[in-house]
Structure 1
Amino acid sequence: MATATSTWTCLLYPSPAGRRGRMRVRCSSSVSVSTRREPEPVATVVKAFAPATVANLGPGFDFLGCAVDGLGDIVSVKVDPQVHPGEICIQDITGHAPTKLSKNPLWNCAGIAAIEVMKMLAVRSVGLSLYLHKGLPLGSGLGSSAASAAAAAVAVNEMFGNKLGVEELVLASLKSEEKVSGYHADNVAPSIMGGFVLIRSYEPLELIQLKFPVEKELYFVLVTPEFEAPTKKMRAALPGEIGMPHHVWNCSQAGALVAAVLQGDVAGLGKALSSDKIVEPRRAPLIPGMEAVKRAALRAGAFGCTISGAGPTAVAVVDDQQTGHDIASHMIDSFLHDGNLKASAKVLQLDRLGARRIHN
């Protein structure tokens, strides 16, 4: 069936010879006549997992992020004859703070992304029920909304034979982020693609995947205090204008961070991650104890420490798991002593796979 619809043109650009470890995705929108035939479901139930993410990474505000292994959201979708064809019905939400999330698919991150994927696939004769398990706490600075969107996008795509590419899944998930927290892909892109991702451009969307060497060890120390840091409030704290010296400094630190990722230089990564002079200085004072927690992490042996996303989670990087646990203990103590906040910690590795179908 042919219908007039908004479609996306996406091209993959492999790295030039001699430049290993990078892949570019460029996407642009246009209105055209879609000839995509409606796909048939290939399963009755599909479950997908999407990992947590660390956005910004210090100087990379809104254009750098990475996925971390072991934390994330799970979305299950199933063909449901009781649901109107072409629509999504959110049947249940479990896990962290389920009552705080809307079951209206037009106001739920997972629902918005799932609907967008159905539109891209031109699905009109099948209705789906969706079940969301929140493995991530809300407002943690670990890409909670992005993980829900990414898991839903992947689950619906798998339900219909995995017809969409990674770039289209990012675009579908961006629709969700745009409605909930703003049009930025530094959470959804790494959650879907895995590893480190650089957003080179938003108009058109162009993504560069940065390959951290597999033989190198990298651990993220994630310490989350019992404190809410709403994204809107944390974004409102940012300056409307910045001076040229800070602009030059942050650009150089972001460049150094990218180089460190490609080289597997964890010490260099940590140094750059700790060096933001624009965003972190405005946000850290809003999180009780954050500045002292960063100092405690560095004294305990972390290569670097900053705020994960909008916070309140603090993230430190190190190349040894046991050292990571020791650093976590110092950071927890500092949150309690200097911020009067209880905190919990996890020491996790880089998630290189991104959102994927699971079978358990």
Structure 2
Amino acid sequence: MLRFSFHSPNPNHPSAKTLDPSPVFRSVKTFAPATVANLGPGFDFLGCAVDGLGDVITLSVDPGVAPGKIVISSISGAPKLSHNPLRNCAGIAAIEIMRKLGVRSVGLSLSLEKGLPLGSGLGSSAASAAAAAVAVDALFGSTLTAHDLVLAGLESEAKVSGYHADNIGPAILGGFVLIRSYEPFEILPLNFPADRDLVFVLVSPDFEAPTKKMREALPAEVGMKEHIRNSSQAAALVAAVLQGDARVLGSALSSDVIVEPKRAPLIPGMAAVKVAAMEAGAFGCTISGAGPTVVAVIDGEQQGKEIGDRMVEAFLVNGGLRAKATVSKLDRVGARVISSSNQ
């Protein structure tokens, strides 16, 4: 198992120096995937990346921008987002990477294409931050480590949605991740076997669930019985990931007795949607991140589509909400460069 233990930076590593590197490319385009955080009982310490959905960043050297600065030139798909890089998760992550690299001689412009809706429970802010961090690093030769990239994204997350890495971790690293510790920060990638089938059914209703509001619903204290129950299910979930057991993974994912019971009533129709998913054959179902997206797990795409149809219907009938279902697999790569140019 790979392990990333993030402590004080090595003084001999490029990220620890003020280098003011020259760009290797004139522009790069990057993609970062959607993520499912918590996975039921793994609140703030388990998450995974899913394919097909995500955000795209185009980053360019711009002579019209002051050296050492970055501007957000355009945003599509999310008109409410700020163009101020100090108030935008992509801008914050990009600035942090520029600081780590010591970029001072060139200015950059950033274009953000939002493929994820805001407040969806699919790691929208993390996807933007991850794509931006990788873009800046790639523009200057991809010299930074997973340490640098994740911590830059975490800095962004801390300012816009809270100090938790169960979205930004998988958005950058791909696959499943376990956040073992925040002080010091330590993240463990969890390898779901490549020869095993795992399908996520993501159903997103036309309803916004702000992370701040959903966190306010959490209990201030947790009973010993509930603590033991969630701890055992989180452990079972990790074991299921490593063993490639989608059935046990789904069962554990469905068994949160601390967070989901408090948040589910805030999402119209959620209880009925979970019942519909399970009756349609899902191995498990829970809220993705802070919601309102609901995630179900199965091992076949066709059955996944059928489960998604039932969940969409349940949202409409029981919650009065229109919803969209997406059937995805595990994204094992995470944030990556999709094109580069010297033109």
* Pair in the same fold by TM > 0.5: yes
Partner of 2:7, secondary structure, is: strand
Which of the residues 30, 41, 56 maps onto 1:74?
Answer: 56
Partner of 2:282, secondary structure, is: coil
Which of the residues 268, 272, 286 maps onto 1:306?
Answer: 286
1:161 aligned residue: 141
| Superposed counterparts of 1:111-260, under 5 Å | 111-260=91-240
Q: Which has the higher contact order (CA 8 A, sep 6+)?
A: 2
2:35 aligned residue: 53
Pair 32,215 (structure 1): closer, same or farther in 2 beyond 3 Å: closer
Do the aligned partners of 1:47 and 1:155 also contact (CA within 8 Å) in 2? Answer: yes
User: Which stretches of structure 1, 4 residues or more, deviate above 6 A after TM superposition?
Assistant: 30-33
Q: 1:228-287: CA deviations, max 9, x gaps?
A: 100000000001110111011100000000000000000000000000000000000000
Pair 227,67 (structure 1): closer, same or farther in 2 beyond 3 Å: same
Tell me the CA shift for residue 117 of structure 1: 0.1
Supply the distance in 1 between the matched residues of 2:142 and 2:339 (Cα, whole angstroms).
Answer: 16
Tell me the CA shift for residue 32 of structure 1: 7.5
For structure 1, which runs of at least 5 residues remain unmatched after alignment?
A: 1-21
Please state if 1:110 is matched with 2:85.
Answer: no
2:250 aligned residue: 270
Supply the distance in 2 between the matched residues of 1:318 and 1:192 (Cα, whole angstroms).
Answer: 24
Q: Which amino acid in structure 2 is aligned with residue 114 of structure 1?
A: A
Supply the distance in 2 between the matched residues of 1:149 and 1:296 (Cα, whole angstroms).
Answer: 34
Report which of the two has the higher share of strand: 1
Please state if 1:283 is matched with 2:263.
Answer: yes
Which of the residues 36, 39, 46 maps onto 1:64?
Answer: 46
Do the aligned partners of 2:17 and 2:101 also contact (CA within 8 Å) in 1? Answer: no
1:339 aligned residue: 319
Do the aligned partners of 1:93 and 1:134 also contact (CA within 8 Å) in 2? Answer: yes
Percent of aligned positions that are identical? 66
Supply the distance in 1 between the matched residues of 2:10 and 2:223 (Cα, whole angstroms).
Answer: 40
Q: Which amino acid in structure 1 is aligned with residue 81 of structure 2?
A: L
Supply the distance in 2 between the matched residues of 1:25 and 1:59 (Cα, whole angstroms).
Answer: 23
Partner of 1:269, secondary structure, is: helix
Do the aligned partners of 1:297 and 1:327 also contact (CA within 8 Å) in 2? Answer: yes
Partner of 2:3, secondary structure, is: strand
Tell me the CA shift for residue 166 of structure 1: 1.3
Supply the distance in 2 between the matched residues of 1:328 and 1:53 (Cα, whole angstroms).
Answer: 18
Q: 1:162-195: CA deviations, max 9, x gaps?
A: 0101121000001110000000000000000000
TM superposition score normalised by structure 2: 0.96
Do the aligned partners of 1:28 and 1:203 also contact (CA within 8 Å) in 2? Answer: no
Q: Which amino acid in structure 2 is aligned with residue 23 of structure 1?
A: L
Q: 1:293-315: CA deviations, max 9, x gaps?
A: 00110000000000000000000
Do the aligned partners of 1:89 and 1:129 also contact (CA within 8 Å) in 2? Answer: yes
Do the aligned partners of 2:274 and 2:285 also contact (CA within 8 Å) in 1? Answer: yes
2:298 aligned residue: 318
2:272 aligned residue: 292
Tell me the CA shift for residue 31 of structure 1: 11
Q: 1:76-128: CA deviations, max 9, x gaps?
A: 11001111111110000012x2x200000000000000000000001111110
Supply the distance in 1 between the matched residues of 2:248 and 2:10 (Cα, whole angstroms).
Answer: 44
Supply the distance in 1 between the matched residues of 2:153 and 2:58 (Cα, whole angstroms).
Answer: 16
Q: Which amino acid in structure 1 is aligned with residue 313 of structure 2?
A: D
TM superposition score normalised by structure 1: 0.92
2:73 aligned residue: 91
Supply the distance in 1 between the matched residues of 2:70 and 2:46 (Cα, whole angstroms).
Answer: 31
Do the aligned partners of 2:17 and 2:102 also contact (CA within 8 Å) in 1? Answer: no
How many residue pairs get aligned? The number is 337
Do the aligned partners of 2:11 and 2:17 also contact (CA within 8 Å) in 1? Answer: no
Tell me the CA shift for residue 28 of structure 1: 2.2
Pair 68,145 (structure 1): closer, same or farther in 2 beyond 3 Å: same
